[in-house]
Amino acid sequence: MGTAHSEQNVAFAKFSVRLAIRITFVSNSQPFLTGKSILVTGGTGSFGKAFIQHVLRHHSPSRVVVYSRDELKQYEFRNELNDPEALRWFIGDVRDPGRLKRAMQGIEVVVHAAALKQVDTAEYNPFECIATNVLGAENVINAAIDSGVQRLIALSTDKASSPINLYGASKLCSDKLFVAGNHYSGSKGTKFSVVRYGNVMGSRGSVIPLFKKLATTGEIPITDPRMTRFWITLPQAVDFVVSSFDQMRGGEIFVPKIPSTRILDIAEAAAPGVSTRSIGIRPGEKLHEEMVSEDDARRTYEISDRFVITPVIQEWGQTDWSTVGSRCSDGFAYRSNTNDWWLSIDEIRTLVASFT
């Protein structure tokens, strides 16, 4: 048992090195976040927790405000971290503009990670989805400007590109609000940008734990065997956001270059040899995901580690991304089924083992 575990660790270490070589998100030598006062909405979610732990370890923040709705999750996270002195704990909802403004007093940097994220839940509870993802975004923008925040990055999703479900549409609307926030900030100077990426391996709601659990039943339900998805690990998602703070000028949507996977390969990696059964696509679900649409490609630039979607209208100061990257060609689109980088079953299995 010990030998098998050791071999698994060696395999994962080797794969992690290969993945790190291909996914290297470039940051400045003096990262923007170091020494800053930071607020994270959705601070007790999978990303929020990982980001906060990263910042505490690597950036010596003067203060980190954990802003979230769930008292129990805050209690558990506080105990997990042994409550470092730099942390502040705010129970609050992004639907509450007054509470947001209070929490952002003296804050220099905001990561907006709070959202309702389940596709089927949003379809059945559309008003709640809009209240959090759209009206909540407006509240965050206003509070950031009024409080003199320097930079804000909002987390988005591949489902916001050419959306067909309410969740994706609400996040597209949110993205546009944050980009437009650069118009509204005026003399306050607050800069807003967006990060858009795919499914996060190892996060809450990931399909991998579900597949492993269902494997004990002898059969795994698959929505559609043709389905493909983008994948990124949680540490990579954190690194990408950190590097985006260094590169942002305001109004960009940053899209990482990440691998694709086939749903059948994920099932085989999580539960080898277990049979699958097609059950049909769920309400609002896509066969393939997209992070840069053909229409967006006309104002998108490709650099070494990412695509940068520039604003439709930019009147707060022109940033010429052509000096560091090349404009994407007409007709280009960044989709999970036409991606040029795919994870093999063995590579997926190695990643799956690291989260168990």
The residues with which 91 forms a beta bridge, in sequence order, are: 68
Contact assessment for residue 95 and residue 136, using Cβ atoms and an 8 Å cutoff:
yes
> Which entry of 49, 159, 171, 191 is annotated as an active-site residue?
159
The reply to whether 286 belongs to the active site is no
Edge-to-edge strands, sheet with 191-195: 87-91, 63-68, 37-41, 109-112, 151-155, 191-195, 253-256, 306-309, 300-302, 326-327
List the catalytic residues.
Answer: 159
